[in-house]
């Protein structure tokens, strides 16, 4: 089969009526265009153009070939336009997995504004703390907390995961505000059991890391459940700001010992496969 690029150049020459004009339109040299047509003729084993110093005319075979080449060029242009239109507008089904807390508090509320802007797009949303296998389970995007995604994945940071030591103002009025991490031994410390070291909280002070043994009436493996217990005045908890941000702003919760809390390398990220990453299209549920 002859080179399709050569056919496209030949179609441009026929369309322009000369090598020089075709070269100008394509942004290349006249000699390059002439050589391409000659190469096509050699490949097909047929004479396509009658050349004179001032005029080009098609041979009988050239006219037949030009018709086909013109259709090939039109189809290629339509294909490019189709891809451009598909890339410019979100469409189809986007399968999304999001962690329970972040998905419920931030992703789901964003859909009410996001979907009307993209009427040709549908979202299949799964709210789960289970890490899904994007390729095997057919998900396009996963929104979860991670420090470093796998090398075959693309991750876009959405928000840092910061934790605040907090309780209700009423609780601190009854129990007192701790001034140092060591003061926590006198408080009801509600423990998040997924932290990796139940019964011990770690802080960073002027002299380095401080490990404080804590005790309280509740051990729980879910941040949302922990936040509800803290909001109920049961005790002090280390909670992520993406859950309690509004409660801190409106005064329902009060943060303490912030200068002792280490920054985390973890962040909430939008994760997708490299080959099918929807972030490349510029559409974002959460900005």
pLDDT at position 255 over 90: yes
From 8-12, 33-37, 204-208, 227-231, the region with the lowest mean pLDDT: 204-208
What's the DSSP call for residue 77? H
142-146, 174-178, 193-197: range with highest mean pLDDT:
174-178
**CB of 227 closer than 8 Å to CB of 144:** no
Give the pLDDT confidence score for residue 144 in this predicted structure.
82
From 79-93, 143-157, 253-267, the region with the lowest mean pLDDT: 79-93
- Summarised one tens digit per residue, pLDDT across range 219-248 is 998 899 999 999 999 999 999 998 999 999
Question: Rounded to a whole number, what is the distance in angstroms from the first to the last CA of the chain?
Answer: 49
Q: What domains can be seen in the chain, in order of their start residue?
A: 4-88 (1.10.10.10), 92-160+267-279 (3.40.190.10), 163-260 (3.40.190.10)
What is the percent of the chain where pLDDT is above 90? 46
Can you give the three-state secondary structure of 150-195, one letter per residue?
A: CCCEEEEEEEECCEEEEECHHHHHHHCCCCCHHHHHHCCEEEEHHH
The secondary structure element, H or E, covering residue 58 is: strand 56-58
pTM, entire model: 0.60
What is the C-alpha separation between 264 and 102, in angstroms, rounded?
17
From 67-76, 86-95, 267-276, the region with the lowest mean pLDDT: 267-276
What's the DSSP call for residue 18? S
* Cα separations in angstroms, 199 against 194, 231, 276: 11, 21, 43
pLDDT at position 199 over 70: yes
Q: Which residues, 6 or more positions from 250, have their beta carbon under 8 angstroms from its beta carbon?
A: none
Give the pLDDT confidence score for residue 274 in this predicted structure.
53
pLDDT at position 196 over 80: no
- Summarised one tens digit per residue, pLDDT across range 120-156 is 889 999 999 888 888 788 888 888 887 766 766 777 8
pLDDT at position 118 over 50: yes
State the average pLDDT for the chain.
Answer: 85
- Count other C-beta atoms under 10 Å from residue 196's C-beta: 8
DSSP codes joined into one string, 30-41: HHHHHHHHHHHH
Give the pLDDT confidence score for residue 251 in this predicted structure.
96
What is the C-alpha separation between 13 and 4, in angstroms, rounded?
14
């Amino acid at each position: 089969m002859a080179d399709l690029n050569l056919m496209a150049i030949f179609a441009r020459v026929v369309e322009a009526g000369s090598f020089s004009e075709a070269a100008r339109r394509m942004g290349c040299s006249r000699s390059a265009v002439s050589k391409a047509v000659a190469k096509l003729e050699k490949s097909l084993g047929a004479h396509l153009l009658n050349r004179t110093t001032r005029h080009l005319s098609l041979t009988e075979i050239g006219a037949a070939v030009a018709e086909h080449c013109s259709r090939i060029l039109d189809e290629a242009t339509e294909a490019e336009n189709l891809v451009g239109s598909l890339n410019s507008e979100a469409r189809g089904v986007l399968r999304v997995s999001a962690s329970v807390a972040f998905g419920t508090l931030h992703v789901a509320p964003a859909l009410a504004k996001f979907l009307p802007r993209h009427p040709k797009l549908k979202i299949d949303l799964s709210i789960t703390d289970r890490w899904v296998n994007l390729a095997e389970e057919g998900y396009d995007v996963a929104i979860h907390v991670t420090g470093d995604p796998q090398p075959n994945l693309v991750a876009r940071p959405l928000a840092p995961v910061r934790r605040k030591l907090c309780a209700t103002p009423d609780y601190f009025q009854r129990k007192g505000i701790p001034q140092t991490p060591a003061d926590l031994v006198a408080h009801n410390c509600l423990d998040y059991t997924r932290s990796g070291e139940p019964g011990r909280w770690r802080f960073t002070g002027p002299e380095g890391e401080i490990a404080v043994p804590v005790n309280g009436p509740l051990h729980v493996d879910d941040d949302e459940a922990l936040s509800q217990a803290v909001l109920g005045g049961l005790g002090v908890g280390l909670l992520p700001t993406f859950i309690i941000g509004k409660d801190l702003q409106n005064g329902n919760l009060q943060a303490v010992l912030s200068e002792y809390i280490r920054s985390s390398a973890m962040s909430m990220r939008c994760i997708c496969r490299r080959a099918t990453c929807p972030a490349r299209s510029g559409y974002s549920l959460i900005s």
